[in-house]
Amino acid sequence: MSRNASFAARSYRTHGIVLRTYKLGEADRIIVMLSPEHGQIRAVAKGVRRTSSKLGATLEPFMLVDAQIVHGRTLDIITQAQLQRPYGQLIAADYTLFTTANVMAETAERLTQTDDESSAVQYRLFHGALAALSRIQHNPSRVLDSYLLRALAAEGWAPNFSECVKCGRPGPHASVNIVLGGSVCVDCKPSGSLSPGPSAVMLLAALLAGDWDLIDAADMADQRAASGIVAGYVQWHLERALTSMRHIERTT
């Protein structure tokens, strides 16, 4: 009885999506998982690199699993996992989907490294984007762009593509300034702004809002321009986040 009680206290059950895995020792793997309730989980799955391991096939990147996890002395240990949605299987079969999902997973991992408060939202966004990718209803690059903008917005870095971020004049405007966080009108436009044109800026607003009718109808040049701006925006914020994290580590 007491043994069971102490096991229950040391263990928990959660569902989550595998972000990535890496090798540990001879036969084990570290599984990095995103859970809506527990945020980012880093736990060991023992013996999973043996071909006979059923757990190994379940704990692959992008699988949605239901896992039983025990708190260990240094690292948590995954003792059981049941497959709930085999997104990983569908995504790993297609190179474009796989590389797209990897960029999403890397971003999700970075954004949930320190902050548990937003993990439920981050989980929902990541899950939604993975599901959309595996259905192949939309261009994978647009699923990625929309995911990236929304994941950053959930951390409080929502860009504004509807009005001028300096004077508030309603858009769509032709220019975007990444550092200022959105579109800028002709009068406010600082040097160093990008000018993809109003239809690309409208596409950016649609990607942020998840307005798929507009996204799917966008022309190729606008899609490319919007993608470049999303990539720049993500890079700028993640680098700043990383720098401030290093600063926190140094000062505390």
Residues in contact with Zn ion by the rule CB under 5 A? 164, 166-167, 169, 185, 188
Kindly report the number of other CB atoms within 10 A of residue 145's CB atom: 25
CA distance 34 to 14: 10
Exposure letters 119-136 (e unless 16+ CB within 10 A, then b)? bebbbebbbebbebbbee
In whole angstroms, the minimum distance from the beta carbon of 186 to Zn ion comes to: 8
Quick one: 90 or 184, whose CB is closer to Zn ion? 184
In whole angstroms, the minimum distance from the beta carbon of 46 to Zn ion comes to: 58
Quick one: 88 or 182, whose CB is closer to Zn ion? 182
In whole angstroms, the minimum distance from the beta carbon of 167 to Zn ion comes to: 3
Q: Which residue from 164, 173, 132 is spatially nearest to 150, judged by alpha carbons?
A: 132
Element (H, E) at 33: strand 28-35
Quick one: 136 or 179, whose CB is closer to Zn ion? 179
Quick one: 125 or 201, whose CB is closer to Zn ion? 201
In whole angstroms, the minimum distance from the beta carbon of 90 to Zn ion comes to: 45
Question: By three-state DSSP, how is residue 103 classified?
Answer: helix
Kindly report the number of other CB atoms within 10 A of residue 28's CB atom: 17
